[in-house]
Amino acid sequence: MRLLEKPWSKHWPKGVPQSIDYPNISLYDMLKRSTGKAPNSTAIIFRNNQITYEKLDDAVSRFGAALQELGIRKGDRIALYLPNTPQFVIAYFGALQVGAIVVACSPLYKDKELARIINDSDSRILVYLDQLEPYVKSIQPKTRLNHFIITSLNEFEVEETVETRIKPGTSSHVSMKQLIQNTRDKSTPPFLDPTEDVALFQYTGGTTGIPKAAMLTHRNLVVNAIQFASWLYMQRRDVNLSVLPFFHIYGMTAALNSPIYTSSKLILIPDPRDTSSLVDAIDSYEPTIFCGVPASYIALMNYPNIKQHKIRSIRACISGASPLPQEVQRQFEELTGGRLVEGYGLTEAGPVTHVNPLDDPEKNRPGSIGIPISDTTCKIVDAESGDRDLPPLEEGELVVKGPQVMLGYWRMTGETKLVLRDGWLFTGDIAIMDKDGYFRIVDRKKDVINVSGFKVWPREV
């Protein structure tokens, strides 16, 4: 599809390039560049404690060195079982720096879900929050983990919290804080090819409902961070309310990687359901960017006396993960004076592929997921074979192409071939493109019901 054939080009947001010259760097190199630009600027705000980019980079490098001392090499998997904390950021970039692959696990997982992901990914180290230790103890004999690194929510507030514990046997249990403090050396990063080397195993139900790991490269994630930051007009002076969980791909890109790319501030919120903490953070630090899900915006609007708080610091919000009700959008924009628009993505694309323009309210189409972002193209194909391109206003499967699309699924060649065809990612979502190039999701392809030869989508029911 040539540029002139892309109807969304006529509605492109001002100041956002349709094509970007992306640096060919790793995710850790992205952090290193941001540190070089703003070493003394605040990177992380957590429970009223602030960490500069320089201190963050130092902790990351020492954690990476500690991983290397534990025998971790390029391609090994490191599982993170953590909420949004400084420890997640340090472990994430520390693992990536030494060429390890991050496996992000939701703290909501119980022992069975956790063990399945640990074993499927062949993870060697688990970094986890002490509150989750009962589940970790339960899975220990069922996995091949070599080391367990434990941390606590207040580990960056007090001198010591959890003591190093080395137990008999093949695995060790050690405090993350002590590990960093006792490692004086810096890591020795291996050579990485950002285009080919995998940074993340992100588990997803994917396009067929079977949990599997999307293999996302350093380039996939760096590109999507830059695409997203560009669309949001994100700058160093921005303050990001990082409430989206980092273990989810949406949060990893929108609330972690993009802010790091721009050397801006991240206010870490470990529990997205704790609206009081959200409001306290808003009053204390006056965030400018708040990417979330509809439930987050609704909770904030319903908070007692919300108009008396510093809510009008927020200038831009992108909502994802579920449809954004038009009334929520209207009321939230009225409350904040900022912009709230809907976007779309999927794990296999790092995840962001579509967003409504932010520059002009007239370009926003309520009920739509917007238009493809920079260097991303898409089309609607027939849902049966995927071989036939459909014209505007016809329902079919949404397929996308762009530099943020994954390499494939870990150990699932057949599944990979189903969703990656000739460079196109078949999303499994049924959608419609209007004549202006805006897309609207109708339903999931796998949910279609065949009634007397007619296709019926559950959303219609």
For the chain, domains (ranges, CATH) are 3-23+195-456 (3.40.50.12780), 27-39+49-181 (3.40.50.980)
Averaged pLDDT, 236-256:
97
Q: What pLDDT sits at residue 119?
A: 96
Which stretches of 47-122 are assigned E, i.e. beta strand? 49-52, 77-81, 101-104
Q: Look at the chain and count its residues.
A: 461
- Confidence label for 460 from pLDDT (cuts 50, 70 and 90): very low
The Cα 314–Cα 379 span in angstroms is 33
Q: What pLDDT sits at residue 211?
A: 77
Q: Which range has the worst mean pLDDT, 37-51, 159-173, 319-333, 385-399?
A: 159-173
Q: What pLDDT sits at residue 447?
A: 47
pLDDT per residue over 427-449, tens digit each? 999 999 999 999 999 987 654 44
Residue 32 tokens read as 């290193």
Q: What pLDDT sits at residue 446?
A: 56
The Cα 456–Cα 66 span in angstroms is 55
Averaged pLDDT, 119-127:
97
Q: Which residue has the tokens 């029911």?
A: 461
Q: What pLDDT sits at residue 443?
A: 84
pLDDT per residue over 358-393, tens digit each? 999 999 999 999 999 999 999 999 999 999 999 999
The Cα 373–Cα 22 span in angstroms is 14
pLDDT per residue over 134-193, tens digit each? 999 999 999 999 999 999 998 865 333 334 443 433 457 899 999 998 887 888 899 999
The Cα 372–Cα 18 span in angstroms is 10
Residue 107 tokens read as 């703290």
What pTM value is reported for the model?
Answer: 0.92
